[in-house]
Amino acid sequence: RVREFHPANIRFIQELGEGAFGKVYKGEIVGTGDEPLLVAIKTLKENASAKTTSDFRREVDLMCELRHENIVCLLGVCLSREPLSMLFEFMPKGDLHEFLITHSPHATEHPLNQSD
């Protein structure tokens, strides 16, 4: 199982985007006796349906089992209060999808429009 963090130990810094469950933030784990640790915080929307909440918790369970050098690491969770959160290692260059878009050989070309 992964470490459970108290909401007071999680500092939200900047919104990065939005996923299927809710918003994703750049943040820090603070007040644990260690130096603040930069993290990506994946949150569950407040007032999410029971099914969405169940899916979020299932993802937590799945991410706890995944340990691979090429998969972002789940460092902890906050499941005691809303917004329920998963805390991941922070990837300063963004996710793989964003990296591939910005670094593809055609990234600077203009996309075709329907008349082309």
Which residues define the annotated binding site? 42
* Cα angle, residue 13 at apex, residues 107 and 69 outer, rounded to 5°: 60
Token representation of residue 107: 């990234």
Q: Which has the closest alpha carbon to 18: 107, 95, 104, 102?
A: 95
Binding residues for ATP: 42
